Chain A
């Protein structure tokens, strides 16, 4: 079995600050995802990547950048943190040819 690790678990930043969230997976999966989950709500796709150095925008990409420098890692940057984007950010991965996604435990973002 594998695991997805997200760091940090809690991230506190100031309004306007640039913040980076990291995700690592040891499944050796090709595709990785970043989702945002507002309190108790569903998941909205921010970015995904089908292979190293590939980036695809999701429905909620404005205000975010992403980076996939290695197959095993996928980073998300909040370019200018706003109070209305306090949420849990979930990373997921999926093996090629399968549809099921495997999720990490999330990073909870608080903006002061």
Chain B
């Protein structure tokens, strides 16, 4: 059964800093890796996803995947107070039907 773990549990960074969030997964056959963001009291929303080893950049956000080390990460450049949220990583193995989520990293960006 897939296990997904996130680190750190929580993080406080100053505005403008680079933020790095980490996720490890247990199933080496996993095919799809995603980050979701959940602002307080709101629905989780997909932020970025990646399928193959390497990096993908969208604006201030970069996702990095290393399947050999069972690790993927999210990097936020020039962090803003509006980035403050719970960040959930997720990995998919087997059918499309079941995403396994990590426990989340709570990010606070202080002005």
Contact = CB atoms under 8 A, between A and B. Distances in A.
Given A41-B104, A43-B88, A102-B46, 10 more contacts: A4-B43, A42-B6, A42-B101, A48-B97, A50-B97, A56-B97, A58-B98, A59-B1, A99-B32, A100-B46
A25 to B, nearest CB: 12
B104 A99 contact: no
Nearest to B10: A40
Contact of B43 (A44, A98, A103): A103
A97 to B, nearest CB: 8
A50 B96 CA distance: 10
B49 A40 contact: no
B92 A99 contact: yes
Interface of B: 1, 6, 32, 34, 42-46, 49, 86, 88, 92, 96-99, 101-104, 106
A90 B49 contact: no
Tell me which of A35, A43, A98 has the highest count of chain B C-beta atoms within 10 A of its own C-beta: A43
Contacts, number: 50
A101 B99 contact: yes
B98 A101 contact: no
A40 B97 CA distance: 24
Contacts of A35: 101
Nearest to B95: A50
6 contacts: A31-B96, A31-B97, A48-B98, A90-B43, A99-B92, A101-B46
A59 B44 CA distance: 20
A38 to B, nearest CB: 9
Tell me which of A31, A42, A59, A102 has the highest count of chain B C-beta atoms within 10 A of its own C-beta: A42
B46 A90 contact: no
Interface string A23-55: 000000001000100001111110010100000
Contacts of B101: 35, 42-44
